[in-house]
Amino acid sequence: MDVLSHVITAMRTGQPRSFLVECRAPWGRSYQAVPGAGFHVILQGSAWLLPEDGDPVALGVGDVVFMPQGITHAMADSPTTPTVPTHPDEHCRTERHVVPVGPDRPNGSAPLTVMLCGMYRLDRSRIHPLLRELPDVVHLPARLGHHPSLRAAIDLLGGELQNPRYGTDAVVPALLDMLLLYILRAWTEDQPCDEAEGGWAAALRDPAVSAALCGIHRNPERQWTVESLGAEAGLSRAAFARRFTTLIGQPPLAYLTWWRMTTAAKLLRDTDISLHSTAQRVGYTSEFAFANAFKRAFRTAPGAYRRQHAGEPFAAGDAGSQLGESASSMN
């Protein structure tokens, strides 16, 4: 598994949500902040994204907006249209919703907007620096021949939601995971490659640093040193340490420890393997040393962390589901 895939796998919790919304002007909905990331894709017509802080963003057919920090925002047919707030108790019963036309417009005569919307629940206690680096709003405008894989994923997901068939319940979550990766890949590829400024977009495209990151992510149990990571990158110890720190923003062994603890937390949440086995899988031969490192990172012992997060559900009515549930009140 590559670095970007590892990042998403480590942070994703619960089930992603998605739905189609058909809106006839005038319409406007506001969304509270969620402990995850949300997206909107314009399939037909147009819309405006209205961030709580920032300028309105005009959206056309094929445009994708991704909010990695789950910020408060609104969607509307116009920046001047009043928006109706959504509430956590508005449950999503179906995957297709139609917003009524305004009282002053005959049915079917108002401009129609069709949106593909969704959200991902993320573990905010251990946000990966790659996602922290993203702006509050990632706007990927539709451009002919640009990011064809992202466009294909959107078409497939929209088709499944518009015309559910046998296997749709299994296909949609897989397509949502694919869509998230394609969005992040598209953003990464669109960033200027400036090694002097650093950042994860540059790091993932740097052959040496990317090779070291792959080594850390694939084999966190190895007894890595700066020298061995430099050898993985094909650089001397000093040259590798400088390059890695410049691009990633922290020294190699600091990131190694961060990733080990993130991996350990996921193992504790998602599996029932022993603490000793967990320690070994993330590179600690001593369970005592692992427990101390985990306490420094999470301010709680590994066993207590496991009990706290055991069987954590993706609750339909929690704050994380607001984006997916809000459309029901539009009917």
Asked if 123 and 253 sit in the same domain, the reply is no
- The whole-number pLDDT of residue 195 equals 60
Token pair 């590829």: residue = 189
Instruction: Report in angstroms the alpha-carbon separations of 150 from 28, 30, 88, 119.
Output: 27, 26, 30, 16
Chain centroid, CA 134 distance in Å: 10
Nearest-angstrom CA–CA distance, 129 and 213:
13
Q: What's the CATH code of the domain at 247?
A: 1.10.10.60
Angle at 62 between CA 60 and CA 64, to 5 degrees: 90
Asked if 155 and 245 sit in the same domain, the reply is no
At 246-297, the pLDDT tens digits run 999 999 999 999 999 999 999 998 899 999 999 999 999 999 999 999 999 9
In percent, the amount of the chain with pLDDT more than 70 equals: 85
Assess whether pLDDT exceeds 50 at residue 65.
Answer: yes
pTM over 0.75: yes
Higher pLDDT, 97 or 69: 69
- The whole-number pLDDT of residue 4 equals 87
Token pair 């005569």: residue = 109
Q: What's the CATH code of the domain at 12?
A: 2.60.120.280
Asked if 155 and 53 sit in the same domain, the reply is yes
Contact 48, 79 (CB under 8 A): yes
Closest CA to 10 of 262, 222, 270, 306: 262
**Dihedral pair phi/psi, residue 102, rounded to 5°:** -65, 155
- The whole-number pLDDT of residue 231 equals 97
Asked if 180 and 229 sit in the same domain, the reply is no
Domain count, the chain: 2
Mean pLDDT value of segment 186-209: 83
Asked if 106 and 54 sit in the same domain, the reply is yes
At 4-33, the pLDDT tens digits run 888 888 888 778 888 888 888 999 989 888
Asked if 276 and 253 sit in the same domain, the reply is yes
Contact 176, 118 (CB under 8 A): yes
Range of the domain at 24: 3-193+319-330
Assess whether pLDDT exceeds 60 at residue 321.
Answer: no
